[in-house]
Structure 1
Amino acid sequence: MSGQLSAGAGIGFSFVGLALAVLMIAAMWRVFGKAGQPGWAAIIPIYNTVVLLRIVGRPWWWILLMLIPLGNIVLVVIVYLDLAKSFSKGTGFGVLTIFFSYVCIPILGFGGARYVGPAGAGGGRPPYPGQPYPGQQYPPR
């Protein structure tokens, strides 16, 4: 009986893990799309990190720094804080993203957050006067 219970629990955890993975892929797909990057990049390992670094305005070679143990934790904190700022969210939301990414990334992807540039550059204005934000039609409908 306990073997069947263990198998059932394992299958249940597998379904929950699969559902969370699908949610995060869909949310990152939307985040990438809002930032004017290809959404399909969310499903390509390593390349999705390069695209995320591009979105937050960090150099691509930071991916090499992410291979350093313990240093990668610091870099992920910086990237998530910059991601929040890039979508005109505050530092508090960035801290929440670090600890509750399964909640905050879908908020960025499916919510009303708008990409304003790498780490909030431009103070929420388009890159050039009269130009739309990446992924936005101009004039707004």
Structure 2
Amino acid sequence: MAGMLTAAAALWLAGTAGRWRCFQKMGCRGWEAVVPVYRTWLLFHELYGSGRRMLRLLLPVYNVYILFRCGADLALAFNRSAWFGLGLTLLPFLFFPILGFGGAVYLDGSLNVRQPPYTF
């Protein structure tokens, strides 16, 4: 029983530390990654420009899509694949430390700007 609690605490600590570094890379203060509702609002504000979009998480079935979409968009904002975003959603205690402590650089929404392939 004590071993399981120790393992759960270690996984929680790894996920929180990775999320802390991830938020620092996004230009936020690290402690903001620890406050549960505020970190979700801040994440939606950084990714989509409006924190009020997180209210969509209150919709019963649509919230699953929003969670997966948010993970994919966060991964794309760090120049990772959408499959990495799936990992962020399903295994955050493993993928947030990879994102936070790895060499990924936050692109600050530059992927959301769509440009035509050829300009004449």
1:61 is aligned, of 35, 52, 57, to 52
1:81 is aligned, of 63, 72, 89, to 72
Residues 81-109 of structure 1 show CA distances to partners (whole Å, capped at 9, x for unaligned) of 00001101122322333333222211110
Q: Which has the higher contact order (CA 8 A, sep 6+)?
A: 2
| Mapped partners of 2:58, 2:93: distance in 1 | 23
Tell me the CA shift for residue 56 of structure 1. 1.7
Is 1:109–2:104 an aligned residue pair?
no
Secondary structure, in 3 states, of the residue corresponding to 2:24?
Answer: helix
Runs (4 or more) in structure 1 with deviation over 4 Å come to none
Tell me the CA shift for residue 58 of structure 1. 4.8
Identity %: 31
The one-letter code of the counterpart of 1:60 is G
2:26 is aligned, of 31, 35, 41, to 35
| Mapped partners of 1:119, 1:45: distance in 2 | 27
Q: How does 1:120-131 map to 2 (within 5 A)?
A: 120-121=111-112
Tell me the CA shift for residue 119 of structure 1. 6.8
TM-score (norm 1): 0.72
Cross-structure match for 1:99? 90
Which structure has the larger Rg?
1
TM-score (norm 2): 0.83
**Aligned residue-pair number:** 114
Residues 55-93 of structure 1 show CA distances to partners (whole Å, capped at 9, x for unaligned) of 222521122211222221111111000000110112232
| Mapped partners of 1:68, 1:58: distance in 2 | 20
5+ long unaligned stretches in structure 2: 115-120
